[in-house]
Amino acid sequence: MVVKILIQGLVQGVGFRPFVYLLAKAMGVKGEVSNCVNGVIIQAELTEQQLGLFIHRIKKECPPVATIHRIDIGEKADRSGCFTDFKIVKSQSGEARITQVAPDIAICEGCLQDRKTQLHRINYPFINCTHCGPRFSIVKNLPYDRDNTTVSVFEMCETCKEEYKNITDRRFHAQPVACNHCGPVYYAILNGEYSDNYEELLNKTVNLIHAGEVIAVKGVGGYHLVCDALNDKAVQKLRAIKYRDSKPFAVMFGDLAALEEYAYCHEKEEEVLTSYRRPIIMLKQRKTLSHGINPGMNTVGAILPYMAIHYDWFERVATPALVMTSGNLSECPIAITPEEAELQFGGKVALLLHHNRAIYNRVDDSIEQLIGLESCIIRRSRGYVPEPFFTDEDMEGILAFRAEKTNVFALGKDNICVLSQYIGDLKNWETFSFYKESMSRFQSLFRFKPKLLVCDMHPDYLSSQHAGTISRENEIPLVQVQHHHAHAAACMLEYNLNEKVIAIVWDGVGLGDDGNVWGGEFFLCDRKTYIRLSHFEYVPMPGGDMASKEPWRMAVSYYLYYGLTLPDSFVKRIGEEKIKQIRSVIDKNLNCPLTSSAGRLFDGLASLLGLCDVATHQAQAAVLLEQSASEEITEIYPVDCSSPICLREMFAHILTDMEKNASIHNIAAKIHNTFADLILRMAKKYCKETGVNKVILSGGCFQNKRLTELLLKLFSKEGISLYIPRRIPCNDGGIAAGQLTIAAAKIER
């Protein structure tokens, strides 16, 4: 019989068709394989028994990077003899409709070996194959063919061409295939002279690293700033260059052994670290690197080598760890061209090491952490983007603009949601142009024409204004979505939930329906609508945005609101005068928006305990509060499960504990336990009242590993299904996905 098999998932640009070809040949199956709009389609002539084995082997033996989302076995025709061989054929639906691009993939073991043995690739740093190498970062147009990438400017040499054409070769149709004779090179100006001698460049960089210098190096999706992670002076220099006060730097370790000397690493974390996506993963630190890397924190963002040059460095440097931070001035997008790098870092770093493989799409390193021994994405970029999310809903033509911080936009194509790479805070002009540039690139890459726009309700966000402009200019309807409903919907999309759920959304800030600043919300919602069941009592946010930067303002605000006296230690530290000023600002209601934000609550508590009065980066206070919590404590503070939730008793008890000089670590632990217990009790109450039995968590506050792991434990004990965002960020990086989901549910097709 002849069977049609449709395979969906990450199956294009990763050596899937040649794999199917070779498998079919080995099994004596006749037929053909081609790319199609939503995956790979196989027509095969085989027996019922062969079919089972064929599918089994496809699943089991597929190329390392390929991910199969689903396999549909279509029509079986009772005919044979129409195929004489097995072939890879051109797409029947027309290559023009294909919209799959693989993410960038870390260099594979095969290639690491090949650069030791293949004569034309000895030590070649841009080696790649169908299992590895750049993809998204170099693609300009679809289908993903060499001509449509930035490596089209390099003419393949005869040897590479042979490999490219040979179906049994690992470089069969590896679009960026390259070697020492024909591919991209690293280059730099050394002592006033141009050099592209790789050995010389390597030695130079290694010497500079040993000398405690900072260098800028072009990578896969942008430049990195690199220095010795054990050298305090070098790290300080790096901070000065980046204008970054205390935001932690990511650290690359030479190998797992080196990493495990400095950080605790569970085997699940190892799995993520060594995956082809090669993200940064947040680990508990075991031994100090330079103090300047993560001041005050007990976690370190660790990453393993993913480009050939990284391996080459670690073979030569004396240090086990290098700081690898994105090459951008704080708040600006990561530099991708030599010009941008020169402009930002020329004269500041000891060396700018460029390469001539142009980056078309900027991508930062992705960041993840394990929660309940499963990965949760924090920043979704290199290695992930533009991998699609398959949904049950028709998303065609919807473009979601997101909010402001941690910007990511999303577009809908058929039943697929594509999230852009991490873009950053839209507050500055450079990031805003990156946002607009990426948006137009994604639209042309995916041949996307917007029919419906979605943005946040907040009228002041640049993204909302931009959406408004595009809507007016092109007469495309625009839907506005409440921020926390979008957070909830993102989680519903990830788990394909299309029903009523209890959604607990805790984050920094987002505009609510009543004009107040929401952020500690309990919803009964589905994809279309929500009912606000409860939230934290509104308190003033003295100075508006300033309150986010200066957590001590929130501490004052809570104590004034609840009519409590502030702890002595706090008053001594902050000073009576400043507290009086805040009191008068609140009394006169000068720029004091009301907020129910859980993020601000964590901030206020962190400052109260003396952990962070002024934050130099987003979520710093909350992270310090989380990290200071001791493990053993199980007590909680009293909080009423009312609506709105009154925290007076909790604050009063904290005051008593502080006056008794209780350990800060114990208080921090009790605070976490209190919130976990509160969420559980509220969820149970609302499940009972509404008859709903699914609870979801979303919002940046649930990046708090301690809180979320506690919740996972508590809910599993109670037997209530708890869903937490894992593949879509729970922070504002997930908002666009949620906006898309809500818009798709709302419109009538």
Rank residues 164 and 562 by Cβ distance to Zn ion and give the closer one: 164
Options 79-87, 250-258, 504-512, 554-562: segment touching Fe ion (CB under 5 A): 504-512
112 is an interface residue for Zn ion by CB under 5 A:
no
Q: Judged by CB under 5 A, which stretch of 289-297, 688-696, 710-718, 728-736 contacts Fe ion? A: 728-736
Rounded least distance, CB 359 to Fe ion, Å? 29
Q: Which is nearer to Fe ion, 286 or 549 (CB)?
A: 549
Of residues 340 and 732, the one with the C-beta less far from Fe ion: 732
How many beta carbons lie within 10 A of that of residue 82, not counting itself?
11
CB atoms under 10 Å from CB of 239, counted, come to 19
Cβ closest to Fe ion, residue 388 vs residue 519: 519
- 393 vs 732, beta carbon nearer Fe ion: 732
**Residue nearer to Fe ion on the CB measure, 186 or 538:** 538
Q: At 293, phi and psi to the nearest 5?
A: -75, -45
Residue window 729-748: x/- pattern of binding to Fe ion, with contact defined by CB under 5 A: ---x----------------
User: In sequence order, what are the residues at sequence separation of 6 or more whose Cβ sits closer than 8 angstroms to the Cβ of residue 131?
Assistant: 14, 15, 63, 64, 65, 105, 108, 110, 111, 170, 276
| DSSP letter assigned to residue 196 | -
CA–CA distance from 256 to each of 303, 464, 537, 652 (Å)? 10, 44, 47, 47
Task: Write down the least CB distance from residue 599 to Fe ion, Å.
Answer: 8
Backbone φ and ψ for 67, nearest 5 degrees, come out as -125, 120
Q: How many residues bind Fe ion (CB under 5 A)?
A: 2
Smallest gap from Cβ 504 to Fe ion, in A, equals 13
Best CA proximity match to 131, nearest among 209, 66, 42, 186: 66
Q: Which is nearer to Zn ion, 163 or 340 (CB)?
A: 163
Shortest CB 162 distance to Zn ion, Å: 9
Q: Which is nearer to Fe ion, 520 or 542 (CB)?
A: 520
If one asks whether residue 160 binds Zn ion (CB under 5 A), the answer comes out as yes
Q: Pick the piece of the chain touching Zn ion (CB under 5 A) from 151-159, 223-231, 285-293, 603-611.
A: 151-159
Footprint (CB under 5 A) of Zn ion, residues 173-202: 179, 181-182
* Shortest Å, Cβ 184 to Zn ion: 11
Burial code of 697-725, b = ≥16 C-beta within 10 A, e = fewer? bbbbbbbbbbbbbbbbebbeeeebebbbb
The residues facing 6 across adjacent strands are: 41, 72
Considering only residues 10, 23, 62, 108, which one is a binding residue for Zn ion as defined by CB under 5 A?
Answer: 108
- Residues 371/365/7/61 CA torsion (nearest 10 deg): -80
CA angle 696, 702, 706 (to 5 degrees): 115
Q: Does 456 bind Fe ion (CB under 5 A)?
A: no
Which residue, among 648, 624, 623, 654, has the nearest Cα to 636 in the 3D structure? Answer: 654
Cis, peptide link before residue 143, omega less than 30° from 0: yes
Q: Answer yes or no whether residue 351 interacts with Zn ion by CB under 5 A.
A: no
Rg of the chain taking only CA atoms, in angstroms: 27
- In the region spanning residues 21 to 50, those forming contacts with Fe ion, defined by CB under 5 A, are none
Task: Kindly state the DSSP code that residue 129 receives in the 8-state scheme.
Answer: B
Q: Using the rule CB under 5 A, is 132 a contact of Zn ion?
A: yes
Single out the segment in contact with Fe ion by CB under 5 A; choices: 70-78, 304-312, 346-354, 500-508. 500-508
Taking CB under 5 A as the criterion, the residue among 17, 131, 237, 466 binding Zn ion is 131
Q: Which does 732 bind (CB under 5 to 8 A by kind): Fe ion, Zn ion, none?
A: Fe ion
Smallest separation (angstroms) from Zn ion to the CB of 33: 22
Question: How large is the angle between the packed helices 598-608 and 648-659, nearest 10 degrees?
Answer: 20
Looking at 111, 502, 505, 740, which residue binds Zn ion (CB under 5 A)?
111
If the CB atoms of residues 244 and 484 are measured against Fe ion, the closer one turns out to be 484
Yes or no: say if 708 and 724 are a contact pair by the CB < 8 Å rule.
yes
Q: Which two tokens stand for residue 48?
A: 């019922």
CB atoms closer than 10 angstroms to residue 622: 27
Contacting Fe ion within 373-402 (CB under 5 A): none
Choice from 404, 507, 626, 677 touching Fe ion (CB under 5 A): 507
Nearest one of 128, 148, 129, 130 to 138, comparing CA atoms = 148
Q: Which is nearer to Zn ion, 157 or 652 (CB)?
A: 157
Q: Segment contacting Zn ion (CB under 5 A): 129-137, 328-336, 616-624, 683-691?
A: 129-137
Q: How many CA atoms lie within 13 A of 741 on its CB side?
A: 33
Where does this chain touch Zn ion (CB under 5 A) — which range of 89-97, 110-118, 198-206, 668-676? 110-118
3-state helix, strand, coil in the chain (%, to 5): 40, 20, 40
Q: How far is the CB of 183 from Zn ion (least distance, A)?
A: 6
Integer angstrom CA distances of residue 411 from 416, 451, 491: 8, 11, 17
598 or 636: CB nearest Fe ion: 598
Separation in Å, CA 711 to CA 580, 667, 690, 706: 38, 18, 21, 9
User: Contacting Zn ion (CB under 5 A), which of 42, 129, 307, 502?
Assistant: 129
Residues that bind Zn ion (CB under 5 A): 108, 110-111, 129, 131-132, 157, 160, 179, 181-182
Residues that bind Fe ion (CB under 5 A): 507, 732
